[in-house]
Amino acid sequence: MKFVQCTSCNAPLAEAGATRFPCPKCGHEIRRCNRCRKQSVPYICPQCGFRGP
């Protein structure tokens, strides 16, 4: 079974508090785990390079 992984840290998006959304620039799916959201760990879109949050 393949887990969906966090875009920033590759952790599986299993626990509550995780989210998925389209990249604000290109629409590619961004996935953030609870820990990365909580600590405001940056994410970089693998498709267009957009850097969030």
Partner 1 sequence: MTGSDIEIELCEPLVPVEEYLAAGVHIGTQQKSSDMKPHIYRVRGDGLYILNVQGTDERIKTVAQFLSNFESPKVLVVTSRQYGQYPAKKFADTIGGTAVIGRFIPGMLTNQSLSHYIEPDVVLVTDPIGDRQAIDEAVQCGIPVVALCDTNNMTGYVDLVLPTNNKGRKSLSMVYYLLTREMLRLRGVKTALTIEDFETEL
- Interface residues toward Zn ion, by CB under 5 A: 6, 8-9, 11, 23, 25-26, 28, 33, 36, 45, 47-48, 50
Cα distance between residue 53 and residue 32, in whole Å: 10
Instruction: Give the residues across from 43 on adjacent strands.
Output: 52
Return the ∠ at Cα 13 (arms to 24 and 48), rounded to 5°. Answer: 25
Q: 1-40 mask for partner 1 (x: CB under 8 A)?
A: ---------------xxxxxxx-xx-x--x-x-x--xxxx
Instruction: Give the residues across from 30 on adjacent strands.
Output: 21
Binds 39, which of partner 1, Zn ion, none (CB < 5 to 8 A, cut-off by type)? partner 1
- Comparing CB distances to partner 1, the nearer of 10 and 53 is 53
